[in-house]
Chain A
Amino acid sequence: MVSVGLLLTLAIMLSALSFSTSAPELTVQRLSMVSRDTLLLTQTATVGDLEDNYPVLADLFAAGILTQSDRGRDLLDVIGAFWAEGNTTYAENITGSVLSPFFNGTPYNAQILMDGTQLFERNITETARFVIRQRAIASGFEIGKPSYGYISRAWLITATKNNTLIMLGDVITSSVKQFPMGNNGNQVNITYLLEVPLNANISNASTFIETAWIDNPFKVYVNGNFVYQSSGKGLTDITDYIVPGNNTVSVVSRYGSGGAEGGDDGATHFVVQYNTTTLATISNPARFHFYEVLSEAPIRYKKPIFVLGNVSGLNVSLNFTNESGGTPIQNATLNITWKGVSYYISIKNVTNGSVFWNETEIATTLAASGISVTEFSTGVFWVVVDIDKYVTRTRRDYYQRVIRRDTSYVEVGYDPYTIVFGKVDLTTQASLFSLYEQDEAVPEFYRNVTWNVSIHNESEPLAALYKLPWLYYSGANPVQQVFVNGDVLYNHDPNNPSSNPLIVEFARFGYTPVSSANALVAGANNLFSLNFTQGYGIDPANALASVTTLIRSTVGYGTVFANESDAVADAYERLEELLGPFIQAIDISNESQSIGDVPSLWGPAQLDIRIWI
């Protein structure tokens, strides 16, 4: 009995040993291996590799739902993309078709989920003794987000830009009064050239004429056609006379009721408003031409010059003709005026109707006075020439001194500001902010005037330039102050000899961000103020205050979209939003460029593989 008992016990023990071969750990290990293989397949096999063996993939390629570029993507990538796009059926079909063979012929239950969305289930037993779970990280996938998408950028190629051509007069004088009194019969004829872009659509053109003396009668001709006549000054619409291309405006002034000189006091201006499809309209001339002037008396020509760029040198060329015979022009005298101080360069005899000052002699002479031409980069400098010895009252010579425009110029060496790709220049007029202290005798002139130069924060300010009709009482020594955002840019104080000198013809003032870092601030209202005392004034109604800025005309790649058309629409919208404040969207023509297949690191989602038995 004992032996039987022992053997029975032994049998039980052996049977226990045999049960140990189906230990749960080994079951778990098997589940783990199956799940691992399933998971690794999704991350390593490309749909291109699997296409031939799985009709579900071949069908999707045939239908164009999967394309050539998808062939290199792994299974997880494709399943994840369908899932994220909401095409769960495709994700389910692929998952079921490709991964189900792992479980065929096994007693395992399985479930595959993408971030909780079930893509595959095999449920053959109600309960689970052992469960194994593996997860694959799947960056780039998130519900509702394009896994691969398009980005687009856009740029302006043509637009209708509302622009203003402003042509400013120079200070040009010649005697119309004989000594000691009375009309000498001379007529000072100045011809201005207005170069309107050939493709401009002119909406408005006007001229404001202000002669050298307030009593000068004058006549105005546009392209040879008489337009109107007045005395002293006048503002007239000349829209009907101006055409795209080159236009000439001649102003002929003469003796009035006592003023000694005819000509232009520097406040004359011509304004042509137009729209154009030429995006870059800023001009950076190397040569600043003199206007054509005809006079039968010596001429004094003061030419204000304002350049955008660093000035390195200048030369002056004058060329004359003697239209009616008689004594030719004898000589010409050159002065340069900077910040109210006049620097004498030299007097030269005119040879064969020409005279020339080269860069070296001008720079050397200025350097002797401690002036470098590089200073001229920050504001308006004046080139002043006298054609023959200048006197305000003289007899008429009965021969015409003619300054030829084409061959008479100031040539300035400077590195002009070039508009880089993606920028458009825009010149706009500043608005008048306040007026105080009206002149008692000539009420349209004021002694305290402020403009508001508003600069959009998306633009880059280049320069501000003011043309100022001025009134000066002979013999007066008034205060002359210029403020920009509180900074003093010019200050003549009659009680302070070290202050800036008095400027009689305060006809022009210009500055750049280089002149004063605080002068032109983007995204701000910049206040430009003129302050004078008794004896000087400005006519703000006929002044011109302009600011030139650069604005961007391109937008870069933006958000990733699921399809190209949405990306392009977004780019256009961003471009129009950018240009909106500046360019009238009458005829904006854009181009865009898209890049597809741009991945994103959405998520990460997780592919969850659960196997149980």
Chain B
Amino acid sequence: MKGQAYSLMALVIAIPLFSLFAFSLTTFQEQHSAVAEMVVIDQMRIVEKTIEADFQKGVTTSAKRAFIAITDHVVTNGEFMDNTGYRGVELILNGTLYGVPNTLMQNNTLTDWKMKIQNITTGFETSISFLTPQLDNISGMTISGTYDILVNISDPFGRAIFEKRTKTPLFFTVEGFDDPLYIAKTSGIIKRTYNLSLYSYYAKKLLTGSASSGNCSGLVTFDEGDTGEGKILVTTDPTGITGFTGIIGEGAGTPSVSCFVVGAAGAIAAITQTLNDEPYPFITLDNFTNGVWHIPLNDTVLTKRYQVGVGASVYERLQGNFTGNNYSMLDALDSFVYIPELEDAGLPVKENQSIVDFYYFQSQEAKGYHVRHLPDWVKINTRFAEYYNFSDLLENAQAVEEETVDLFG
């Protein structure tokens, strides 16, 4: 009787445990299957991810080559694009320009990329499609686009299908590429490549003094002991100081040099801030405006760099539209004709024309005025100078005002 009681108790304990075991086994089998599916899905996701990542490479490679091909076509054949963006897409997808196969695009189109990727053995069936891409010149020297790619990956055993649509952004710069403007306007004699200016403005009047004398430029120092030619001292009390090319004083005392601006309150802080913000190290003292100027235009002109501005955009230049003059949209490019380069090449020079590229090469007159403190041949028209707030630096201010009315009123 006692034994039966133990057996009964054992059964009472065992039956739920058996049930639990049976349940656990079932659960485990289900879990087993779910884990397997998760691993498969995870691998599919990895395949998709790696395709997505590689697509960026495919897009960038293809688009960059397409843009090089377009530039090359324009500068070597003298034939401008009818629609740069459209031709770019033709190259990216088909590898042709106006239907003619382009060497640079051989095996480097997005279509080539797609075929190669689809042919890779991944253990899954892979299908790639993309919407018609765009190639735009959004601003300055940046070419950009957004590319929609749809990747469909399916397990050959029908366990899972993974599909993902992704937008892939594209950005690259045209720095180092040829500007067709100079080639077209000089029969190929003058060539210039895009290089962005290091500065964000052309010229800025930093300070106005209570008194000034002479005109000079130089490297800034705040140390009265750091004397020397080509140095501009910025100090609180300029009285009697000598040994510098120029002196900027916060106080109104007169220094013992011929070039100075004094009574310029806050000079030290303002100049320190300016030189921190913009790396152009020279400061100019301008007696005509009684002011202290920062003129990176000098460097931009002499180094033949471009600034995002109001001229023709990269796309417009490739399409032979060099007129620029788009003051409502500050997203295109300005450059300045380097007159000595034209003279050295024996090209005729428009003596009194503004050297802003789209003004210089236009057939109409755009009278340029010499910009003080810059080489004699640097002449800018009033509209441009006014727009960028440095018309006070143009010589012959009275004539400037009249011309402004005549030309642009």
Contacts and interface: CB of A to CB of B under 8 A. Distances in A.
Interface of A: 2-3, 6-7, 9-10, 13-14, 16-17, 20, 23, 25-26, 28-29, 32-33, 36, 39-40, 43-44, 74, 76-77, 134-140, 151, 153, 155, 419-422, 554-558, 591, 593, 595-596, 598-601, 603-604, 606
18 contacts: A2-B7, A13-B21, A14-B21, A29-B39, A32-B43, A36-B46, A43-B53, A135-B47, A136-B53, A137-B54, A139-B54, A155-B76, A420-B187, A422-B76, A557-B68, A557-B69, A596-B176, A599-B65
B120 A421 contact: no
Contacts of A26: 35
Interface stretch (B105-113, B250-258, B271-279): B105-113
Contacts of A40: 46, 49
Contacts of A29: 35, 38-39, 42
A9 B21 CA distance: 11
Contact of A422 (B39, B77, B104, B113): B77
B113 A139 contact: yes
B193 A137 contact: no
A154 B310 CA distance: 31
Contacts of B107: 600-601
Interface string B37-52: 0110011001101110
Given A23-B28, A598-B65, 18 more contacts: A26-B35, A28-B35, A39-B50, A44-B53, A77-B57, A135-B50, A136-B53, A136-B54, A138-B54, A139-B58, A420-B77, A556-B103, A591-B191, A593-B191, A599-B61, A601-B61, A601-B113, A606-B120
A139 B72 CA distance: 25
Contacts of A606: 120
Contacts of A420: 77-78, 187
B104 A151 contact: yes
Contacts of B77: 420, 422
A71 B163 CA distance: 32
Contacts of B51: 137
B188 A20 contact: no
Given A32-B42, A604-B54, A421 B78 contact: yes
Most B Cβ at <10 Å: residue of A10, A138, A558: A10
A604 B188 CA distance: 39
Given A13-B21, A43-B53, A139 B61 contact: yes
Given A32-B39, A32-B42, A555-B76, A599 B7 contact: no
B76 A10 contact: no
Contacts of B13: 6-7, 10
A139 B75 CA distance: 30
Nearest to A148: B61
B265 interface: no
Contacts of A14: 17, 21
A601 B14 contact: no
Contacts of B57: 77, 139-140, 599, 601
Nearest to B32: A25
Contacts of A7: 10, 13-14
Given A140-B61, A151-B104, A422-B188, A23 B76 contact: no
B117 A604 contact: yes
A137 B124 CA distance: 14
B166 interface: no
Given A139-B58, A604-B54, A421 B35 contact: no
Interface string B66-86: 001100110111100000000
Contacts of B62: 601
B54 A6 contact: no
A421 B116 contact: no
A2 B107 CA distance: 78
B60 interface: yes
B103 A558 contact: yes
A106 to B, nearest CB: 18
B187 A421 contact: yes
Interface residues of B, number: 62
| Top-7 shortest CB links A-B | A421-B188, A3-B10, A25-B35, A420-B78, A599-B61, A43-B53, A556-B72
A17 B23 CA distance: 11
A25 B36 contact: yes
Given A44-B53, A139-B61, A595 B68 contact: yes
Contacts of B36: 25
B76 A153 contact: yes
A555 B76 CA distance: 7
Given A17-B21, A599-B57, A6 B73 contact: no
Interface stretch (B177-185, B225-233, B368-376): B177-185
Given A422-B76, A601-B108, A3 B9 contact: yes
A555 B77 CA distance: 10
Contacts of B184: 421
Contacts of A601: 57-58, 61-62, 107-108, 112-113, 116
B166 to A, nearest CB: 14
A36 B42 CA distance: 8
B11 interface: yes
Given A10-B17, A29-B38, A43-B49, A421 B183 contact: yes
A148 to B, nearest CB: 10
Nearest to A599: B61
Nearest to B104: A557
A26 to B, nearest CB: 6
Most B Cβ at <10 Å: residue of A44, A554, A556: A556
Nearest to B4: A2
A186 to B, nearest CB: 47
B64 interface: yes
Most A Cβ at <10 Å: residue of B35, B62, B73: B35
B122 interface: yes
Contact of A137 (B6, B35, B117): B117
B46 A39 contact: yes
Contacts of B60: 599
Contact of A556 (B42, B53, B73, B78): B73
Contacts of B28: 20, 23
A295 B65 CA distance: 69
Nearest to B112: A601
A413 to B, nearest CB: 20
B289 interface: no
Given A6-B11, A17-B24, A604-B54, A598 B64 contact: yes
Interface string B343-387: 000000000000000000000000000000000000000000000
Contacts of A137: 50-51, 53-54, 117, 120
Contacts of A25: 31-32, 35-36, 39
B10 A2 contact: yes
Given A23-B28, A23-B32, A139 B116 contact: yes
Contacts of A2: 3, 6-7, 10
Contacts of A556: 72-73, 76, 103
B313 to A, nearest CB: 20
B72 A153 contact: yes
A103 to B, nearest CB: 18
Contacts of B35: 23, 25-26, 28-29
Nearest to B54: A137
A39 B112 CA distance: 24
Contacts of B178: 593
A137 B153 CA distance: 15
A534 to B, nearest CB: 52
Nearest to A420: B78
A138 B183 CA distance: 38
A591 B14 CA distance: 94
B366 to A, nearest CB: 24
A463 to B, nearest CB: 20
Contacts of B39: 25, 28-29, 32
A153 B18 CA distance: 82
B189 to A, nearest CB: 8
Contacts of A76: 53
Contacts of B6: 2-3
